[in-house]
Amino acid sequence: MTAHEKDLQNELSPAALVQRARDMVPYLQETAARAEAERRIPVETVQKMKDAGFFRVLQPKRWGGYQMDPQVFFDIQLTLAEGCMSTAWIYGVIAVHNWQIALFDLKAQEDIWRDDTNVLIASSYMPVGKVVSVEGGFKFSGRWAFSSGCDHCDWVFLGGVVPPTAENPAPDYRTFLVPRSDFKVLDTWHTFGLRGTGSNDIVVDDVFVPEYRTHSSLDGFRGTNPGIDSKTVPLYKIPFGQLFPRAVSGSTIGATQGAINAYRDVASKRIGTNTGAKTAEDPHAQMAVARAQALVDQLKLRLNVIFDRLMDDARRGEATDMTQRIQYRYESAAVPEACLAEVLELQKMCGGRGIFTSSPLQRFVLDILAGRAHVANNPYQFGRNYGGVQLGLESTDFFL
């Protein structure tokens, strides 16, 4: 009997999964430097996450998944980020794809998981694909950047726009599902932060993608997805624009906790070389830790409250209020910037030793700064939309 079969037989609990993530943190701390140097998460680390069942949390039960609430997924991601934000980042991005595939036609799900339910999916949603309609589907080409963890995946979600037609006069942004045999990975990932994510470029050259292996963003927005489970299971009724952005902002919360932990380990024992003063007695250091910890606790609480509400709406079969969705979208985008502000205060309070690459804090600072650069983590774009709606304007965002 495999470990996964034992988990299913024993009805693995959310608490047990989160504890497995907690148990991995020391290992992630030890391997973070290796991941950074190799510019990818080690294969062994991804296998450990597979063996622990982490990628199955949002996966449909029909494909051996646990089909748990998003709060479990985020608890795991935030915990992993305390050890290595790059690991938590690719976990968040890849594991959420196991949720999105439930929105696709069942034939697409069969293509992926019929032979192996451990197979993983990468992505780059940038709408840069060249799309040509042909009988039964599309001819598809292009080059996409920022495909996190793609070296570990056998399939990829790629963005493209189906050109307007007489029947459908509006451009149709879709996600195209492409197998490993139809794409190349280009080694382009040379960055100052999140180096371990291996977010390389993907190239596709004039391949055929069947219609059933595409997913329209309008279906995700309206809740009219073709996936069979998306019609019956509350988990898959949550709007895509609410879940995916949190997968790329959530890891910054856990990384901030990791930064706090690293700072406390050093600052609780540190004595200033020139002054002889204990850092623990410095009121500025005390306030930096207090503010950072309070922020982490507030963001975790808010994250759970939002997904409690989204799941409650889904269970009742009701659409979440659009103004709330706009607000939640802005709050998600605002998370990394808030986290960055607090970890920078911790960095400032490290003194001269804090500027060395051996400092346990600097990796968290650079990773959070890199995470802030993701287009989904731009608070100004989504904040303007939320503010405009509050002032009576129409929403300019449909990725909600």
Average pLDDT over residues 188-194: 96
pLDDT digits (tens, 9 = 90+) for 36-89: 999 999 999 999 999 999 999 999 999 999 999 999 999 999 999 999 999 999
At 338, the pLDDT band (50, 70, 90 cuts) reads very high
Helix 85-100 × helix 14-38 angle, to 10°: 120
For the cut 60, the answer to whether the pLDDT of residue 380 exceeds it is: yes
d(CA 40, CA 50): 16
pLDDT of residue 82: 98
Give the lowest-confidence range in 20-24, 237-241, 331-335. 237-241
pLDDT of residue 275: 60
d(CA 334, CA 329): 9
At 265, the pLDDT band (50, 70, 90 cuts) reads confident
- Per the CB < 8 A criterion, the answer to whether 45 and 87 are in contact is yes
- Per the CB < 8 A criterion, the answer to whether 109 and 102 are in contact is yes
Q: Which domains does the chain have, with CATH numbers?
A: 3-113 (1.10.540.10), 121-216 (2.40.110.10), 238-390 (1.20.140.10)
What residues contact 168, with CB distance under 8 A and at least 6 apart? Answer: 162
pTM of this structure = 0.93
Q: What is the CB neighbour count within 10 angstroms for residue 231?
A: 12
pLDDT digits (tens, 9 = 90+) for 311-329: 999 999 999 999 999 999 9
Query: Which three-class secondary structure state does DSSP give residue 128?
Result: strand
3-state secondary structure 136-181: CEEEEEEEEEEECCHHHCCEEEEEEEECCCCCCCCCEEEEEEEEHH
pLDDT of residue 6: 60
For the cut 90, the answer to whether the pLDDT of residue 272 exceeds it is: no
Give the lowest-confidence range in 112-121, 157-166, 232-241, 271-280. 271-280
pLDDT digits (tens, 9 = 90+) for 89-140: 999 999 999 999 999 999 999 999 999 999 999 999 999 999 999 999 999 9
HSE on the CB side for 62, CA within 13 Å? 16
Mean pLDDT of the chain: 92
Give the lowest-confidence range in 18-32, 81-95, 176-190, 261-275. 261-275
pLDDT digits (tens, 9 = 90+) for 230-252: 889 999 999 988 999 999 999 99
For the cut 60, the answer to whether the pLDDT of residue 330 exceeds it is: yes
